[in-house]
Structure 1
Amino acid sequence: MRIGTLSTRTSVPAKTIRYYEEIGVLPPAERSPNGYRAYGTDAIERLDFIKDAQATGLTLDEIATVLRLRGKGESTCEHVVHLLDHHLAHLDARIEALHATRTRLVDIIERAKTLDPAECNDPNRCQTISPRHEGSPAVAHEPHGAPGAHPHL
């Protein structure tokens, strides 16, 4: 089958299929005499595996490692469990950080409901987010790059 058909059957864009070939997670397609890529059903199975692996949080590099091990005939179970444990720990840390962020936002919103807009006269800050006047403590926040920190805050 040609790349367009493979793309349709797997819901993977043709550009992505070409990229997967380039980085080695999808074996290069055979070429027809006119130069078109020709794929077998094994490409569908491989792309389905890649999508399933990505859905668990594995990166393309990690998927490539798993596929290399499989290609050598090695068992990948222990390696994959280790990778998934690592991703689970990262996910748990992210969830914890998100809960902390949510709590912080609820507190800010509740405090903001009590603020007087007429007192918001500092051109360098919004008192809802960052109060600095006497009697109103600054809202604690995580530094940029901390787990759970939103990149735009």
Structure 2
Amino acid sequence: MQGRVFMRENLDCPFRTLDSLLHYIKSKTNIVLVDFHAETTAEKLGFGLYFDGKVSGIVGTHTHVPTADARILPKGTGYITDLGFAGSYHSMIGMKAESVMPTFIDQMPSKFVVETQPPFIMSGVVMDIDTQTGLTKTIEQIKIIDDSPLFSHG
């Protein structure tokens, strides 16, 4: 699902869209994981609270910066506002910092260059979900940092 606040695309309401799909999805499986791709933490949390108890887990994506709020919502849905990303740890959302800075300083577009230097990070969550109820029993935030080079030259 994709949020609408500060997003350029003109999309249908993600709340109504998921509501309309849930009956069909739940007829096929008890475990329903939702990736909510959105800009603002408020819209992500609102989405989580709205669907609490109706889906197994909701993970926010888009900002590439992991939030420290992995939890089980009151009705049993596993939730985190943003998973983070996989990429170079000392980068700006995966890009070389020096390629992004002109955009902030001059407010002019610049060519973003992918950072390929270690260390690399992979962040996310692991959820233990009850297969009978479809609700989350535990949620654990993970962060793996690896100093290995991305490419080996030999």
Instruction: Give the number of the structure with larger relative contact order, counting CA–CA contacts within 8 Å between residues 6 or more apart.
Output: 2
> Same fold, TM exceeding 0.5?
no
TM-score category (smaller protein): under 0.3
TM score, norm. by length of structure 1: 0.24
Looking at CA atoms only, which structure, 1 or 2, has the larger radius of gyration? 1
